[in-house]
Amino acid sequence: MDVPTDPRPGDLPEPVALTAGDTDVGAHRWLPDGDHLVAVSAVHPGREEDLLRDAVVVDARPGADGPTAPRPLTDGAGTSTLAVDTVLPSADGRTLWMLASDQGPTRLEFVASQTGLFSLDLTAASPVPHRRTDVDAVDLVPGLLAVAGDEVLVADQRRGAVVLVALPADVAADVAPADAPTGRVLVDSPAVVQAVAAAPDGGRIVVTAAAPNSAGDVLAVDASSGTTTRLTDLSADLRATGRIRTPRELTATAPDGYPVHGWVALPDADRHGAGPHPVILMIHGGPYAQYTHALFDEVQVLAEAGYAVVYGNPRGSAGYGRAHGTAIQRAFGTVDTDDVLALLDAALADPGLALDADRTGVMGGSYGGYLTAWLTTRTQRFTAAVVERGFLDPVSFVGSSDIGWFFGLQYLGDNDTPDAAGALAAQSPMAHVGDVRTPTLVIHSENDWRCPVEQGQRWFVELKRRGVDTELLLFPGEGHELTRSGRPRHRVARFDHVLQWWSTRLPT
């Protein structure tokens, strides 16, 4: 709709629908002509059976007959295998920049499918997307995309950091992804870039980024010099308490020689003594995600209570290349298990950390809940465990999770043949629940549609009826994101229960 230059109450025109039908249209941006938008939508016929999304054009000024269907710019109906996430036109409207991942021949191969930068020539009669970043080494954060003068700004996940990279916008269209320029790093590790915006001429760049001592601040970046100026200091009051514990980077070697990267956060020796300290191994969800350098409330709360926290990015995680991410496909509970235990053992073996190898716990959420539960089926070394919003039975998960039936089938394999059923059971905590002896707190949310509540309830019941020391904590009205965006009172209550559990099973 056209907005008046001097609007008054009641004078605003009625909004006009630009799209119709049963397809979602999102991530829209205006084209310079002011008559069209570019956006992302799954408009191809097979959209109910695959993960593809197209870049589309939407007419911003529909005629008397109403909105027209979005016109695809990429070819999900034909040869394209891209899931487009983010679109941004150049200032002259000739090029469309896209963040997208390749879903492979089956159009479902999302496991560690690296998000890359693509360009599309909007002046071509049949535009073809060209990948501008390496398909194996570069994994960009969806949604973080800006054009600054003759450069394109993206955020790359790298070894626990998210760095801001400026890539040249004039790369030849036929360049091989492996030969694509690596660009200029404008905001480097240990920063964790969260958002980016830029003036079209590239003179002004603003980002938000977290750091080991900051949950997130606004930074101004000078593109020519690379100088960064912090414009806010929102964590100053927290730092002023003197109680932020800065984690130390930790490296370990898995039994097969593979390097594993992580961190250890130690409690304040002035308040909790010199040790040896009890240790909690913390495992992230995903699995294709990464723990980062950013200030992390989970780690800080446990360290404040007197626990050393070991956490890292085992194989299956993001930020270390495609091969690292795909290493656990059809192999949950194998090398990922080796990697997290290698991190823990490396920390325990370091005399400078003063950790107590006889007092260790393990906790994790989502996939981290999976691996926590899995570890308790494999070993009795842990004093206690916390299994949160866990992915615990891949069989029932396929039919009940909102992530889609494809997730378990792509990661663990199908269950349609006797051989496949055996392979699936070999990766399933529920299939081995009878081996658990570790005291376990099960935490779940009643409205969790990602890892449905039946996963946690059944884990609790199976432990309870086998005589394992276990408790169940259920949160009403919360979903899978409780620990990140749940109601503040519920987040506080959860921390209270977690600390109470550890204080009785693993006292400091």
Q: Give catalytic residues, as residue numbers.
A: 366, 480
Cβ neighbors of 356 (< 8 A, separation 6 or more) are 275, 276, 277, 278, 279
Q: How many CB atoms neighbour CB 3 within 10 A? A: 7
Q: How many CB atoms neighbour CB 193 within 10 A? A: 27
Cβ neighbors of 172 (< 8 A, separation 6 or more) are none
Q: What does the alpha-carbon distance between residue 211 and residue 230 come to, in Å, rounded to a whole number?
A: 12
Convert 10-75 into a string of H (helix), E (strand) and C (coil): CCCCCCCCCCCCCCCEEEEEECCCCCEEEEEECCCCCCCCCCCEEEEEEECCCECCECCCCEECCC
Cβ neighbors of 355 (< 8 A, separation 6 or more) are 275, 276, 277, 279, 308, 347, 348
87 DSSP β-pair partners: 98
Tokens 């059923």 found at: 421
Look up residue 296 and give its two tokens: 């992390």
Q: How many CB atoms neighbour CB 8 within 10 A? A: 7
Look up residue 89 and give its two tokens: 């036109």
For 155-178, give one letter per residue: b (16+ CB within 10 A) or e.
bbbbbbbbbbbbbebebeeeeebe
Helix axes 297-304, 488-505, angle to 10 degrees: 40
